[in-house]
Every structure is written in C-alpha cells, then in structure tokens.
Amino acid sequence: MARAAAVALVSGGMDSAVTLAVARRDLAPAPVAVLHADYGQRTETRERQAFRALADFHGVPAHLRLEISLAHLARIGGSSLLAGGPAVPHGGIPHDRPAARAGAAAPPPEPGAIPSTYVPFRNAHLLAVAVSWAEVLGANGIYVGAVEEDSSGYPDCRREFYDAFELAANLGTRPETRLALLTPLVKLSKGAIVRLGMDLDVPFELTWSCYTGEDVACGVCESCQLRLRGFREAGVTDPIPYARP
Amino acid sequence: MARAAAVALVSGGMDSAVTLAVARRDLAPAPVAVLHADYGQRTETRERQAFRALADFHGVPAHLRLEISLAHLARIGGSSLLAGGPAVPHGGIPHDRPAARAGAAAPPPEPGAIPSTYVPFRNAHLLAVAVSWAEVLGANGIYVGAVEEDSSGYPDCRREFYDAFELAANLGTRPETRLALLTPLVKLSKGAIVRLGMDLDVPFELTWSCYTGEDVACGVCESCQLRLRGFREAGVTDPIPYARP
C-alpha cells in the first residue's frame, strides 16, 4: 500500500503553494500526497495546470497525486465562483478592515458579510476526501492553506471550523486512525504568507489565484486584490503578469 | 429559489426509508429534499432504483431530488463494499453482541473490529453535500439513517460523530445558516426500526439492503443478516425475496 506522512490540499493558488512548502519542510524526507478538486470553478483548467506544476516542482510521485471532481457543487450552486453562476464581483475585499494581527481572535463574519464567491461548505468536501485518502494512505496530517484573518471572510476558512472538523474526522474513522488538520497560514496576513513563501523558495510563478482569467490574471477580482496586497506588503514583485496590475 | 424544510440522505435501504418517513411525519406538509450518492458501491444500480422508487412514493418533486457521483471514493478504495475491492464477507455481524438497549451508551469499536465493508469516512462526504444543498435550499434539518447500537460498527454511524459534524457544519457555513443533523434511528435496534417503519407505512418492498446482489438479495452478507434479524425481531415478514433466507 502506498504511504504518505500527510495529504496537502493544493488548489494551485499562492496559499496552497506555501502550505505545501511548509508540509515538505516539516516532514521531508517523508512523502506528502497532494489533492486537487474540480468543483466547477470558472478557472479550473488554469488551476489544475498550477496544481500539476507544483506537484512536478516537488517531485510528487503519480500514486500520491489525486485529482477529483466535485461536479455536484456546481449543480448545487449558490456562488459566483462557479461557472454558470452570477458574475464574480470586482474587488470586494474588506479594504477598511484593520490589518490582521497574528494571534488576535478574528471576529466572526456578520450576516450578509460573506462575499458572493463563497461556495457553500466547499472546504468540508475537500477535507472529507483528504480524510478518506489519509486513512487509506496511513497519513496522520492534512495540510490546508486556509487563511482566516486577512481573507475574503469565508466561514469555512476559520480555525474553529477546522477544530470541529478534526474532531469529526477522528470520531468518524477507524479507532487507530489519528488525524491532525494543519492550517499553518490561518493566522497570517497575506504579506506574511508571501514572506514565508520567499523563505521557503516557493515558485510563485507557477501559481494561479485569479477567479476570472485563465490566460492573464485580471488584477481586479477579490482574489487578485488579496494576492497583490500580499506582495505589496512583503515588498516583493509578484512574478505573474496582470491585465490591470 | 427552491426551498425545503430538510434534506434526507436516501441510500435506498431500509434504514434510510424509515428515516425519510420520519422526516415526512415530522415536517409535512413542508417538502423534504432527497439526496442519493453513487460512490462506486457494488449494488449502486439497484440502490438507485430503490431511491427513485422511494422518492416517487413520497411525491418528491424533481427539483428536490439530487443524485450525485462520489467516484473518487472508489478510487481511494479501502473497502470491500466498493466495486474492484476485496469480496464482501458472508455474515460478519456481531451475533454475540448483547441485544441493543435503547438509550444505553454504545461501546466504542475496538481496533480491528471495523468490518471490511467500512468505506473510509464515507458519511462525511454525504453530509458535506447535504449541508451545501441545505444551505442553498434554506433547509434547517438533515436526516440521516445512521444506526449505532445494532449495526456493523462503522465509526461514522455513531452519534458523537454527528454531533461533531453538526458543529463543523454550523461553523463552516453562513452565520444565518442553522443546521441540525437528525439521526432518529441511531439508538434503535433493527427490530425497533422495522416496527417504526410499519407504524409509518414504509414501503419496505421498494427498499434494497443487500451488499452483493442486484436481482435477488443474497441473505448472507452482513447487511442482509442485519435486515433479516430486524424483521425477525419485529415479528414481521420481509416482503423482498432472498436467495438464501
């Protein structure tokens, strides 16, 4: 049976690229398995390309790469991030939110504050797959690039959600299965994430964050704006081109 | 937007059929949405037929029926229940376990006591879909036919798992989303489930429980044995035919 020390969720964006690098730093030389999901997001073709490039970069063997389809998420709908849904808004990140402070408790999102790009309970689907695969692989860790404090405010990116899911994962699997859900970026600002990635030699040029474009990043969607703010805060130039930087 | 009071997971087996009847009893005339998953189980064609027959029986409109594919569960493997996996064993239910007593705490499964038909963390995948759909439908309840005390001993059928997942579901969705995971059978014996189903006029002849056959139930797999024990305890004749009753 194939074995791995951990499973990392890898969308192909900057946060998951840094998280994968953290997992490799923490666990090398033990192998880390990588998981990517197509859930009907608009830019999946480009995201999958980024996932594969990152897996190649880290030399992940084929049997520890898993690409899955969660096509029902698009059928269920409820998000502008999904193909066929309403348009992705320009901007929309909370510019006026105070700068995130490491260790400070994030306020819970207020009703109506969740952006239209929120995909209902998406991360639970990804975690369920990661837990099943981890149990079969004998892995004890699941690495997730969730960001809570300096983010779009998705409820399934908050650490308390991961704490509850971790408990469910340990109760819902074999008694000998022991799993930890690791979210090394969850309390970091986007600037700190870029700096951590630079320290770990993350190939940011291989990553993709834009919610709308697949050739050139738009520079105006909330994901592009969060990414660009991170590079600006870190004093680093983002290596990917933008239509409107 | 389509609305429903609850989402019920309906495999097509006797437990989910009784659970759906409980949901209808509790919530009528409000509609109940029904969800069915193909995860590569050996008898999916027959199970889907049972799901559709039960949905027809209850007059569930088309927009409140969702059939999804979780094909990656078969790729991840780790279970004899999955096509391509090892054979489903004959029997294997804990015959020597004391009869389940309502309200008594179930002992946790011991290492190695999980049957080979356990599909790693399967129920979490189904719950994740149900939660996403419930959020979009504006439903507050999710009905699951999990049975803890008189069952095969799957870890993801224990109430404590559903308590943890319920917390994760409420933390991982919009602040205005309020969800309850309802497991009305979880502390019942199989005999009590059959009696409850008889009280609610459940069409047991439409249901399918066998893990191996699709034409005639085998009568020897653990699922058939649990079902037959339930009908025997209830003093009721199971209306479906068996190859070896």
Digit-coded pLDDT (tens) for A70-87: 999 999 999 988 887 778
Q: Does residue A167 belong to the interface with chain B, where contact is any CB pair within 8 Å?
A: yes
Residue B135 to residue A78, Cβ atoms within 8 A: yes
- What lies within 8 Å, CB to CB, of A216 at 6+ separation is A241, A242, A243
Cα–Cα distance for residue pair A168/B124, rounded to 1 Å: 9
Q: How far is A131 from chain B (nearest CA, A)?
A: 7
The verdict on residue A174 lying in a domain is yes
Residue A105 lies in a domain: no
Q: Which of B93, B98, B132 is nearest to B113 (CA)?
A: B93
Tokens representing A64 are 């520890």
Q: For residue B19, give the 3-state DSSP assignment.
A: helix
pTM of the model: 0.90
CB contact under 8 A, A129 and B132: no
CATH of the domain at B77: 3.40.50.620
Contact with chain A for residue B174, Cβ under 8 A = yes
Q: Does A159 touch chain B (CB under 8 A)?
A: no
| Separation of alpha carbons B122 and B107, rounded Å | 21
Segments forming the whole domain that contains residue A206: 6-97+113-234
Residue A1 falls within a domain, yes or no?
Answer: no
How many whole angstroms separate alpha carbon A150 and alpha carbon A192? 10
Q: Per-residue pLDDT for chain B (245 aa), expressed as one digit of tens each?
A: 578 999 999 999 999 999 999 999 999 999 999 999 999 888 999 999 999 999 999 999 999 999 999 999 999 999 888 887 778 877 655 433 333 333 333 343 444 578 888 999 999 999 999 999 999 999 999 999 999 877 778 899 999 999 999 999 999 999 999 999 999 999 999 999 999 999 999 999 999 999 888 889 999 998 999 999 999 999 999 999 999 75
- On whether residue A241 sits in a domain, the answer given is no
Classify residue B105: in a domain, yes or no: no
Min Cα separation A233/chain B (Å): 29
Whether residues A175 and B133 touch (CB distance < 8 A) is answered with no
Q: Which of A78, A124, A125 sits opposite B168 (nearest CB)?
A: A124
- Secondary structure E strands in A118-212: 141-143, 180-182
- B112: in domain: no
Is residue A240 domain-resident?
A: no
Residue A125 lies in a domain: yes
Total domains, chain B:
1
CA-based nearest distance A152→chain B, Å? 13
Interface with chain B: mutation pick from A171, A177, A181, A186, highest number of B CBs within 10 Å:
A171
Of B205, B191, B210, B196, which is closest to residue B238 (Cα–Cα)?
A: B205
| A55 residue type, one letter | A
Cα gap B76→A134, rounded to integer Å: 9
At residue A217 the predicted structure's pLDDT band, cuts being 50, 70 and 90, is very high
Q: Provide the shortest C-alpha distance from residue B39 to chain A (in Å).
A: 12
Give the distance from CA A66 to its chain's centroid: 15
